[in-house]
Structure 1
């Protein structure tokens, strides 16, 4: 009886020690900080925040199997990884980004969902992750050949756009290193709390709710629209206290849809109807699984989403750098090629680090349209 009681106390003590260790670990700066004060009050006024959490437009189950998140995490850590990681380095190119011509309208993709847009002389950096895509360094290791760029190699950034606060889209070490070179941060509601906690001047942070629009410069040449996505958020144990979003950026050069992460829903068609002239759409393609089919874009919906957006050209992202799902690492490349054939998409296949010249898209946008004969 005494031995049984002692064992129980040992187990309770071990559990308590683990809980304390987890708490201490989770208050490291990289986890950020939950919204508070005036920011929290603004969040509570959002029509997308109900019962203490942000909500998707339609009911969205995070997991669609009965195995639960712990089992999914176990599978992620210990399941067979054959084919999930490339056997040789991913083809990539190192470009001196600071030497890009100011007149260059283009895109440089860094793998996964990180990319630099340069449009009409402005530099827009989206979801940069150059240091660590997970709370601990041994998770989400980058594929061989993809870690070519560091924060210090980025040029001065006019607009830093963050679509949500997951670790593979908001990298603490990267954004802290960029702090002195960022003119303005554009992010969904609540995400600004992380930036303020990490030392950013609150005056450079512009937080937006879905369906909000904001000019980014004095003459309104650059306008950003915050739009819905079907996803979730959180950097620790508490989820959905910050918003996730897609964005539409209207510039004198191009109108660009920045999709972020998220599963298929009616918002793609709604955005396509509201903004009938999307020149370029950057759309999620990768890290999908039937177990979480509502929060990531499944391959069967890739072409449909792009059609409903009515995008003239498409670049797919969220692949080729990390293995967050169980599909083969190169399966998304096959998916985009199949979607292009099946749905007649004008697909731009980007190579990591190689500048993609968008001037032909700009020129075709500006070209006079032929007269319609009656």
Structure 2
């Protein structure tokens, strides 16, 4: 009995030590937590979606679904050969060009009107430990050292595959402002970021970044958390408004009424970046399914569309290239103007005149 108790105690101590590692961040506290408690989107101890959004659907229990997810084999889950990718010298890009470069999964850089925004960069680990969520071969060719100086680091939510501790701390001295949803700023403060550089917003709040540049924090249909407690920070999409462009940064999330509302609120969006990948029918409320993606794009009504959340990690049980096939199908609709870049390819945004 003593041995069993000792083993259990050791497991508990190890678990506590792990979740207190810096990479796990920190739950909101102090003035930030007081602000969270006043948010209309925070109820009964956690942030809530605008529409009812159960994490799981169907008859299976969470444990049963998790067991099946871990042990059920899926053909084509990972590519057999290297992902096609281009290693671009980002520091030599013409700063006067309006462009976008995708780095795989949900990491990409947008350059517009002379400013650079880096969104959800994950160049080290997409999970608490490096042996989990290994990237596809050929997809992981960019590192923080490859990034130019960044004016705006935009984080959609605090899941590990969107907020990488090592990446953001290695970039810290080359970032102007951090833009994130309410509560996520706590992680950055723990990691040594100056709170005056953190722009932390609730849904439907906006902030003036500098002359002609504004960011609008908008709803998404998802969830958050990188430790044992979920939904203590907000998840969001963003509209980045520059002197000449409107760029919608969709983040993660399921299809919902918010897309049409955003499209009406911000007509003539130049580029929309939407989630396409890591979905499952059981998660239909928190991840966009392939058959819903086209409607989401039409609701937003952007002049150009780029899809992300694919081609680097296998976080769901669909074949790795299924999102690319969805993208190809959407591109056949000339009204959607779908961009289909390789990882690292420089795509010049359409003329907005």
> For the structure 1 residues 293 and 11, does the alpha-carbon distance in structure 2 shift closer, same or farther, using more than 3 Å as the test?
farther
The equivalent residue for 1:189 is 182
Contact 1:307 1:343 in 2 (8 A): no
Equivalent position to 2:73, from 69, 80, 84: 80
2:188 counterpart of 1:207: no
Alignment of structure 1 residues 57-76 onto 2, 5 Å = 57-76=50-69
Aligned to 1:108: 101
Larger Rg computed on CA atoms? 1
Partner-residue secondary structure (3-state), 1:116:
strand
Q: Is the partner of 2:291 in helix, strand or coil?
A: helix
Change (3 A) 1:261 1:203: same
TM-score, reference length from structure 2: 0.97
Mapped to 2, the partners of 1:253 and 1:357 lie a distance apart of 15
Aligned to 1:266: 257
Cα shift at 1:291:
1.3
Within 5 Å, which residues of 2 pair with 1:260-339? 260-339=251-330
Aligned position for 2:123: 130
What residue number does 1:29 align with? 22
Of the three residues 137, 140, 165, the one matched with 2:133 is 140
Q: Give the alignment partner of residue 243 of structure 2, picking from 228, 252, 267.
A: 252
Quick one: distance in 1 between partners of 2:114 and 2:341?
21
Q: Is the 8 A contact 2:74 2:318 kept in 1?
A: no
Cα deviation per residue 1:85-140 (whole Å; 9 max; x = unaligned)? 00000000001111111112101100000001111110100000000000111111
Q: For residue 3 of structure 1, what is the aligned residue in structure 2?
A: none
- 1:37 offset after TM fit, Å? 0.3
Q: Is the 8 A contact 1:156 1:182 kept in 2?
A: yes
Task: List structure 1 runs of 4+ shifted beyond 6 angstroms.
Answer: none
Q: Which runs of 5+ in 2 are unaligned?
A: none
Cα separation, 2, equivalents of 1:45 and 1:285: 33
Separation of aligned partners in 2, 1:215 and 1:89? 42
Shift of 1:66: 4.0
The answer as to 2:82 corresponding to 1:89 is yes
For residues 239 and 260 of structure 2, what CA distance do their matches in structure 1 show?
Answer: 14
Q: Would you say the 8 A contact 1:264–1:305 is kept in 2?
A: yes
Structure 2 CA distance for aligned equivalents of residues 70 and 131 of structure 1 = 29
Give TM-score, length-normalised by structure 1: 0.91
Change (3 A) 1:137 1:250: same
Distance (Å, rounded) in 2 between the aligned partners of 1:40 and 1:118: 33
> Helix, strand or coil: the match of 2:95?
coil
User: 1:346-357 residue pairs with structure 2 within 5 A?
Assistant: 346-357=337-348
Q: Cα deviations across residues 232-289 of structure 1 (Å, max 9, x unaligned)?
A: 0000110000000000011123211000000011000000111111111000000000
1:370 aligns with: none
Q: Report the CA distance between 1:77 and its aligned residue.
A: 3.5
Q: Spell out, residue by residue over 1:116-172, the C-alpha distance to the aligned partner (whole angstroms, 9 max, x if none).
A: 111111010000000000011111100000111110111110000000000000000
Cα distance change, pair 18–73 in 1 and its aligned pair in 2 (3 A): farther
How big is the alpha-carbon RMSD for the aligned residues of Structure 1 and Structure 2?
1.4
Structure 1 stretches lacking a partner, 5+ long: 1-5, 367-374
How many Å apart are 1:79 and its aligned residue? 2.7
CA distance in 2, matches of 1:17, 1:145: 39
